Structure 1
């Protein structure tokens, strides 16, 4: 029997984790639309008011507040499953079962007759779905070394996008030809993909207690990454956080009302699903790749600026659709423009957030930034129904596009800060090279004098 080399074992381990990460990424992405835009389609179809739909979107705030309970999952084992599967996989299994049960609860509800039931299970689904994200991100970071994280992140994103397609277009197809109950029960069954992957996945051998300083209090665990972040970025910290807070604000505010617009204009669920499936999905992936290419070709800040402008301006296509009415060509244009701009802007934002974190506190700081960047948009999105009821769809989407003006101003201000930082860093590097050259010349002169 031959002994496998360490390099071979490492390659085999990496190959094994990639399909598992793809499945877990799918599980991570599946609940989101089912508590957001897909659900808003259901609610509007059965006659729930736009005001109520906007306020119900607040249940998705759990995705922006998950950093509040994330450290607890690092420090404690899950009931029952923790001893059998390990800490990370134990929490993952428990929460995945919770997601399945919540989807089943929504399936057997009737928002036309009992909206409270739907709100209660939507709230629970938002909590379980966001907590599942914590457990899957924790597993991904702990299961492989840093040089493998890029491949795992890519696999996770592909799985996530496929899940959005299933929970968006797929659920709409099933609802159109069967029922909303069948659609949500089918989505609950699809959660088995992630559950089985979790059972097959290896349990990471390290947890927070094994790391240096892991015995610190919870207050210190929260405080140290924040202190380092503010100290490193100085006065520019507030500027960076302001840009994060409003960069995707137009998308979150308008996203709640996009599907109700389609329903109110008379498009069927099949119409929406067809355009989303045939055009929107591919165009959205194109936006992601375009954003990555532009960031590498032209730099982060020009890409961030262009993405912010494109995402905000894309809402004008929704305003024009609201003006034109039931027109399949215009629906196709609106969805494609929105998806491409959203994918482009999302890639730019992820790159920007990644540039702000310290390698020493990368996980904690990135979790905080990724949780908080959507918070203002989700809060204001709850009032979107009132705005549409008062001003109409066209004026509403024109208004969300105008948020791009302060986004542009903040992008330019941050661009200036980055340019100044680069000039300062270049000057420091040049001064260091000059000093090294002087030290070398002095050493040479001293050797010559001694000779």
Structure 2
């Protein structure tokens, strides 16, 4: 294992967030300027299907091959993909960018299986709060650099330069992986001996057996409820800011410097909160707090506050939203069986991505049909109700012994 596992995990999560941030934060702005509808931008979420479907190949990745080998191969493919886009110099109106979204999502989703399994295995329960703060903070930083930073660069240069810079940053994030000691499948710091490798037949349906493990489907449904409303709102924020007349440079600054600072502060506060309180208190306070921040976007959609309010909303949502994500991911690690770490966490992460896609589509459809006020309002109510539903259920019926231990 790497001598500094948190540094390794930080670089890997940042590498995932970099292209994902560009394709989810910057590309919608570019598409909106090119005349694409809100519904079409919402359907962009369908290209994130690899994040939802990765559960199909997660058991094979989890139990086949060494983690260092997987990580180097996937990171290298991402660098090559970014360099290919730089050579093609695709414009923002090109449908070739949509294929690029799919390719990057496939590579990053597979890398995420390896990274999440590594994190669950090497981190003790008491370390997961701080570790998830670092995880979420690094991922958010990657997203902000990819979304805000590369959008700012696109406004001043061109697509070729943007993708060349992306390739360089991805290559830089691979350096800690080269220093990682090779681990055999099933072996890790907490393992006394390597586990026997499952057969091909067991791997083919491994995800299904894990989904049917006691409490797993119920917990997945609770994660869905917790995230659906906030994904409705989040998917519309950048198009909304663009429709308010903000330039690409302003959006880049809002989502880059300000959004990055807010997210990093939220990750630090989320980690500190997880050290001091149980999972129940963390989930309830951050979940309801996040729904409360969405009220600022409702006010802005009603015409109150103007651009200054949108800056404050960016800060509030960045801080509290990141804290809620830290709490949720720590709880998801608690619910993952260390013997099937990559598969279990992947199943739950696929739910998070799936609800993101469905929430984005729902937000786009409602926004086109009834306007931003209704879309933000419905998303806010569903966000609060989902938080209350999760807490109420786990109070009465903890889905796993590991969750019950951390919950109170």
Q: Give the TM-score of the pair, scaled to structure 2.
A: 0.83
1:99 to 75, 78, 88: 78
Counterpart-to-counterpart distance in 2, 1:104 and 1:316: 41
1:38-57 Cα deviation digits (max 9, x unpaired) = 21122112222222111112
Instruction: Give the structure 1 partner of residue 30 of structure 2.
Output: 42
Instruction: Give the structure 2 partner of residue 221 of structure 1.
Output: 206
Larger Rg: 1
Counterpart-to-counterpart distance in 1, 2:60 and 2:339: 20
Partner of 1:44, secondary structure, is helix
Partner of 1:36, secondary structure, is helix
Counterpart-to-counterpart distance in 2, 1:19 and 1:286: 18
1:302 to 258, 281, 284: 281
Instruction: Give the structure 2 partner of residue 254 of structure 1.
Output: 233
1:186 to 160, 165, 184: 165
Indicate if the aligned counterparts of 1:40 and 1:256 stay in contact, CA closer than 8 A: no
Indicate if the aligned counterparts of 1:58 and 1:378 stay in contact, CA closer than 8 A: yes
Counterpart-to-counterpart distance in 1, 2:379 and 2:234: 10
Instruction: Give the structure 2 partner of residue 73 of structure 1.
Output: 61
Indicate if the aligned counterparts of 2:49 and 2:354 stay in contact, CA closer than 8 A: yes
1:28 to 13, 16, 33: 16
Instruction: Give the structure 1 partner of residue 190 of structure 2.
Output: none
1:212 to 180, 189, 195: 195
Instruction: Give the structure 1 partner of residue 328 of structure 2.
Output: 349
User: What's the CA shift for 1:402?
Assistant: 1.5
Instruction: Give the structure 2 partner of residue 110 of structure 1.
Output: 91
Indicate if the aligned counterparts of 1:29 and 1:164 stay in contact, CA closer than 8 A: yes
Instruction: Give the structure 2 partner of residue 393 of structure 1.
Output: 372
User: What's the CA shift for 1:342?
Assistant: 0.8
Counterpart-to-counterpart distance in 1, 2:174 and 2:267: 28
Matches within 5 A, 1:231-250: 233=215, 239-250=218-229
Shift of the 18–99 alpha-carbon distance from structure 1 to 2, 3 Å rule, reads: same
1:340-365 Cα deviation digits (max 9, x unpaired) = 22112112212322333344444432
- Coordinate RMSD, CA, aligned: 3.4
Greater CA deviation, 366-375 or 318-327? 318-327
Counterpart-to-counterpart distance in 2, 1:73 and 1:359: 15
Counterpart-to-counterpart distance in 2, 1:397 and 1:366: 30
Counterpart-to-counterpart distance in 2, 1:265 and 1:332: 12
Shift of the 179–328 alpha-carbon distance from structure 1 to 2, 3 Å rule, reads: farther
Indicate if the aligned counterparts of 2:232 and 2:376 stay in contact, CA closer than 8 A: no
1:17-39 Cα deviation digits (max 9, x unpaired) = 55444433332322211221221
Shift of the 172–417 alpha-carbon distance from structure 1 to 2, 3 Å rule, reads: same
Shift of the 284–26 alpha-carbon distance from structure 1 to 2, 3 Å rule, reads: closer
Counterpart-to-counterpart distance in 2, 1:19 and 1:59: 30
User: What's the CA shift for 1:397?
Assistant: 0.8
User: What's the CA shift for 1:243?
Assistant: 1.7
User: What's the CA shift for 1:153?
Assistant: 6.2
Instruction: Give the structure 2 partner of residue 268 of structure 1.
Output: 247
Counterpart-to-counterpart distance in 2, 1:328 and 1:132: 38
Shift of the 145–121 alpha-carbon distance from structure 1 to 2, 3 Å rule, reads: closer
Indicate if the aligned counterparts of 1:25 and 1:155 stay in contact, CA closer than 8 A: no
Partner of 1:373, secondary structure, is helix
Q: Which runs of 5+ in 2 are unaligned?
A: 188-192
Matches within 5 A, 1:295-374: 295-324=274-303, 327-374=306-353
Counterpart-to-counterpart distance in 1, 2:206 and 2:218: 25
Matches within 5 A, 1:126-165: 126-138=105-117, 156-165=135-144
Q: Higher relative contact order by CA 8 Å / sep ≥ 6: 1 or 2? A: 2
Shift of the 330–127 alpha-carbon distance from structure 1 to 2, 3 Å rule, reads: same
Q: Give the TM-score of the pair, scaled to structure 1.
A: 0.76
Shift of the 158–131 alpha-carbon distance from structure 1 to 2, 3 Å rule, reads: same
